[in-house]
Structure 1
Amino acid sequence: MKKINAILYVIIALLYLNTSSLLAEESQASTDNNNSESRSPQESDQEYVLPKPQASRIESLKSTLTLRQLDHQIQTLEANGESFLTLYNPSLTRSTEGCVILLHSDNEHPDWPDAIGPLRNALPEHSWCTLAIEVPDIIKRAAPVQTSPSENSNNQESTGLPNQANVFARVEAAMNRARTDGIEQFVLLGYKTGASYALAFLAENPEAGEALILIDIESPTALSDYTNAQKIRQISKPTLDYYVNNNGSERFALWRKQAANQRTESDISYIQIDAIPDRVTGKNSKQLLIQRVRGFLKQNTTQITQQKQLPNIKKGLFYKSPVE
């Protein structure tokens, strides 16, 4: 009997301790909630730091260029009330053919090593200045994936590309900057989604550029490939369409080719090149890309006559005086 009483006493004690612990936890949670409700909005906001990947990416780029002693290329311009970064390389020759405006792809930066960086650094050696523009991110990192088109996506499909007004304003600001150096001829060059912006800009501003270069063009998710391809019909300037031909891009490339063939100006050059052969030759594919772009520019833009005068040669340096 005593053993039974002892066991009952232990059970009652344990139940009491558990009940006290639960009550204490509820009291603490209630206190925490009351404290959080009493905090000011500013105090609450200070507890959370939202990531800004594009800002971090641009700051890292600026730091890298500074370490390489290339910070003189960094220029900050303004468009639509926002500041944005550009990388400006003037022509390295006696005269300048014009300026190439470069638009990088989504979640990249104006010196991205795949295509934009090599081109912006190489073309100044061949009489072209380059202005690479910071393009706003389309897809925000850590953003939820949409399984069905949202109302916002439908609006973007009907009005154009995401961030289109801001990107167009940045292109115009970059051109105005180049004009201060006497530049009069412009070429639009874009890589992947940046190529879609370049295509859309020249389609809406046909006299703004003398030529268009599309490299591995990609359509943002808010814009179908077919709709994007039809903009080629509005381009009345020479166009280089340099792309990687794979299973996902064959149909898009065919639509672009068909749109080019439907243009009313049949004499306007449209060159579509499959980049695969350039990339499997074992040679430097970036150097081949530069050569493709250089050749296109030389054949399809107004070229300034650049003839260097032969140096005056003193024959006395090469001929001995007659023996007396």
Structure 2
Amino acid sequence: MQKIQTPLTTILSLLVCFGLSTTLLAEEPQATPNTATTTEPPTNTVAENNQDYVIPRPQSARIEALKSSLERRRLSHEIQNLEANGTDFLVLNKASMTDSTQGCVILLHADNEHPDWPDAIAPLRNALPEFSWCTLSMEVPDIIKRGEPIKLATQEEDAQPADSLPNQDEVFARIQATIAQARSENIEQFVLLGYKTGAGYALSFLQQNQTAGMALVLIDIEPTIGISHYDLAQKIRQVAQPTLDYAVQNQAADIQFTAWRKQAANQRTQKNGEYIQLNATPDRVNGNDSKPLLIQRVRGFLKQHTSQITQRKSLPSVNKGLFYTSP
């Protein structure tokens, strides 16, 4: 007996068949006559893709942020852009605030800092001009390159002198360019002042350039890659100029490093000035705020151990007529 389909059942069957046919047709790839199937290559090659990445340059960003800060404080006139060995670098030039400029203090900041770093460089950079010194705070290239892969030392790098500092030639060239620029502005006397790793550069530069500076100031000196505490301390033996060694001496390693520097100073064969070693411990007046004490120590050292010692300001004349009447 055949089953009789109702009109509604017939319609539903037709719709189902039509739906399946449509699905099958949609799943089949539709060939385009006389057209080859091609894959477009990426628009950027490997070299081009490298240009799309932002290369991390922490020091460049740090210096640009410093410039922006100075501009906001209306101090852009202190910015100088100099060149050494084909590389531009920044120097902050703050003129003496008196009419008897003694010379310029060249300041070298610590690694991964900048020429206006607030710990020690900025207070001295801003305070010393009040005492007849201009200040030249110089950008020092980073030793530890942040954001870059660590590479092993090559044989050529191992062959460098044991007492050579990283970036030494570049830093020395920058110091010489800074001095040359200051000389063009009629500055004749210079003091080298370094903070932490910057102190190592200042010491090494004066060791190799005996007549470049009239005095040396080392603040919290610390060694860096490629040189030991002992080898860095021995450089003091060849520095004849007056030297202020101002550092914290709390830990055993600090005390040992301090003793080596004192020993090296005692073994100097040529002495054109004293070697003064002071412990940068807080005093009862300033407490933990060490900046006023730092400024006082450096200012006093420069006053007593450079040509500033001959500076004598005459007392103001008094018009007695303002105080006495004639009989």
What TM-score do the two structures reach when normalised by structure 2? 0.81
CA RMSD of aligned residues (A): 2.5
Distance 2:63 2:284 in 1: 29
Partner in structure 2 of residue 313 of structure 1: 319
Following the alignment from structure 2 to structure 1, what is the Cα–Cα distance between the partners of residues 187 and 244? 22
User: Residue 312 and residue 100 in structure 1: after superposition, are their counterparts in 2 closer, same or farther (change >3 A)?
Assistant: same
CA contact (8 A) 1:154 1:222 kept: no
C-alpha contact 2:214 2:241 (8 A) present in aligned 1: yes
Change (3 A) 1:151 1:144: farther
Partner of 1:242: 246
Aligned-partner SS, 2:264: helix
Tell me by how many angstroms 1:318 deviates: 4.3
Aligned to 1:5: none
Which one has the bigger helix percentage? 1
Tell me which residue corresponds to 2:267: 262
Q: Distance in 2 between matches of 1:253 and 1:276?
A: 14
Matched residue, 1:183: 187
Counterpart in the other structure of 1:199: 203
Q: Tell me how many residue pairs correspond in the alignment.
A: 288
Work out whether 1:98 is the aligned partner of 2:135.
no
Post-superposition Cα deviations, 1:251-279, rounded to whole Å, max 9, x if no partner, equal 21111111111111357311111112449
TM-score, with length taken from structure 1 = 0.81
What is the alpha-carbon distance in structure 2 between the residues aligned to residue 295 and residue 201 of structure 1?
23
In the TM superposition, residue 192 of structure 1 has moved relative to its aligned partner by 0.2
**Unpaired runs of at least 5, structure 2:** 1-37
Cα distance in structure 2, aligned partners of 1:108 and 1:224: 22
Separation in 2, partners of 1:223, 1:133: 22
Which of 118, 125, 132 lines up with 1:120 in the alignment?
Answer: 125
Distance 1:279 1:220, change over 3 A: farther
Residue 80 (structure 1) aligns with: 85
- Spell out the pairing of 1:4-83 with structure 2 (5 A cutoff): 35=41, 39-83=44-88
Once the two structures are TM-superposed, the CA of residue 143 in structure 1 deviates from its matched residue by 4.1
- Give distance in 2, aligned partners of 1:299 and 1:155: 42
Does the CA contact (< 8 Å) of 2:191 and 2:216 recur in 1?
yes
1:253 is aligned to 258
Are the counterparts in 2 of residues 95 and 306 from structure 1 also a CA contact under 8 Å?
no
Q: Which moved more, 1:136-145 or 1:306-315?
A: 306-315
Q: Distance in 2 between matches of 1:267 and 1:126?
A: 23
In the alignment, the residues of structure 1 paired with residue 190 and residue 95 of structure 2 have an alpha-carbon distance, to the nearest angstrom, of 13
Q: Report deviation, 1:320.
A: 6.0
* Cα shift readout 1:268-308 (whole Å, capped 9, x = no counterpart): 31111111244996163101000000111111111253424
Q: Is residue 157–residue 222 contact of structure 1 (8 Å, CA) maintained in 2?
A: no
Give the distance between the partners of 1:152 and 1:216, measured in 2 at CA.
Answer: 31
1:230 aligned to 213, 217, 234, which one? 234
Partner residue of 1:27?
none
Q: Is the 8 A contact 2:109 2:121 kept in 1?
A: yes
Letter in 2 for 1:168: F
Residue 150 and residue 219 in structure 1: after superposition, are their counterparts in 2 closer, same or farther (change >3 A)?
A: farther
Show CA shifts across 1:226-259 (max 9, x none).
Answer: 1111100110111110011123322211111111
Deviation of 1:180 (Å): 2.1
Amino acid across the alignment from 1:313 = N
The answer (yes or no) to whether the contact 2:195–2:220 under 8 Å persists in 1 is yes
Give aligned-pair identity as a percent.
58
In the alignment, the residues of structure 1 paired with residue 115 and residue 159 of structure 2 have an alpha-carbon distance, to the nearest angstrom, of 28
Question: Which protein has the larger Cα radius of gyration, Structure 1 or Structure 2?
Answer: 2
